[in-house]
């Protein structure tokens, strides 16, 4: 593994990239070598939650499943926020049961997310994917034990440079999500911002992968 892509919807089958491919329960593809699986807050279907959670339960314990998600909270969703909270809590408890990290999608609901994490006293790592907010929120999330993953917004928003540089090296990941950018492009800019080589950055993220995804240590 030369690169780790924390969150992608596109499997490239590149031997140099370990890709955490996002999967949804009803569209599960068993050919994916590594995946996360979860119920996205924008795609909650109350009529099939029972079957969704049955599939989640089946797939979450498999070694190919590296994480639960993406799941989370989104106040743009047509699904009632109370339902979103219930669905997220069930997924977080599932992650805790299987001791799998969680990949989080969060829009306008960081306070509620932080409160839930504290209330459930989660021990498994929780990663905010596609982070694009201000340094103050980044610091708050880091202080509450979250990890941050950066992707396309890092490439299109120069203001994120200072935010990204404020994150300790043991608390971040990189991703492509649904963008057309390659993970190599994301790493190249991230290394430039950190004023290190791509190889040094690869080692940092490899260390973070070992800490988070193999449960050798969990950084609070």
- Topology of domain 3-213, CATH: TIM Barrel (3.20.20)
101: nearest Cα among 7, 195, 187, 201: 7
pLDDT at 216 over 90: no
Q: How high is the pLDDT of residue 214?
A: 83
Residue ranges of the binding site: 70, 105, 129, 177
Q: Print the SS3 string covering 18-71.
A: EEEEEECHHHCCCCCCCEEECCCHHHCCHHHHHHHHHHHHHHHCCCCEEEEEEE
List CB contacts of 207: < 8 A, sequence separation 6 or more.
170
pLDDT at 76 over 90: yes
Element (H, E) at 96: helix 81-98
- pTM beyond 0.85: the answer is yes
Residue ranges of the binding site for a divalent metal cation: 70, 105, 129, 177
pLDDT at 177 over 50: yes
């Amino acid at each position: 593994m030369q690169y780790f892509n924390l969150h992608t919807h596109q499997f490239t089958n590149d031997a140099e990239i370990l890709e955490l491919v996002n999967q949804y329960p009803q569209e599960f593809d068993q050919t994916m070598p590594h995946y996360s699986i979860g119920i996205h807050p924008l795609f909650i279907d109350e009529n099939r939650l029972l079957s969704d959670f049955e599939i989640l339960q089946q797939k979450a314990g498999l070694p190919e499943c590296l994480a639960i998600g993406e799941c989370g909270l989104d106040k743009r969703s047509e699904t009632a926020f109370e339902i979103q909270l219930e669905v997220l809590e069930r997924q977080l408890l599932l992650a805790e049961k299987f001791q799998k990290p969680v990949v989080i999608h969060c829009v306008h609901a960081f306070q509620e997310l932080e409160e839930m994490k504290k209330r459930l006293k989660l021990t498994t790592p929780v990663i905010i994917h596609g982070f694009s907010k201000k340094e103050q929120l980044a610091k708050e999330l880091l202080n509450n034990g979250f990890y941050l993953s950066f992707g396309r917004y890092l490439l299109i928003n120069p203001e994120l440079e200072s935010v990204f540089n404020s994150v300790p090296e043991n608390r971040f990941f990189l991703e492509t999500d649904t963008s057309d950018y390659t993970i190599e492009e994301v790493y190249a800019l991230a290394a430039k911002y950190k004023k290190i080589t791509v190889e040094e950055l690869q080692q940092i993220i490899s260390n973070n992968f070992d800490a988070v995804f193999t449960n050798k240590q969990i950084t609070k």
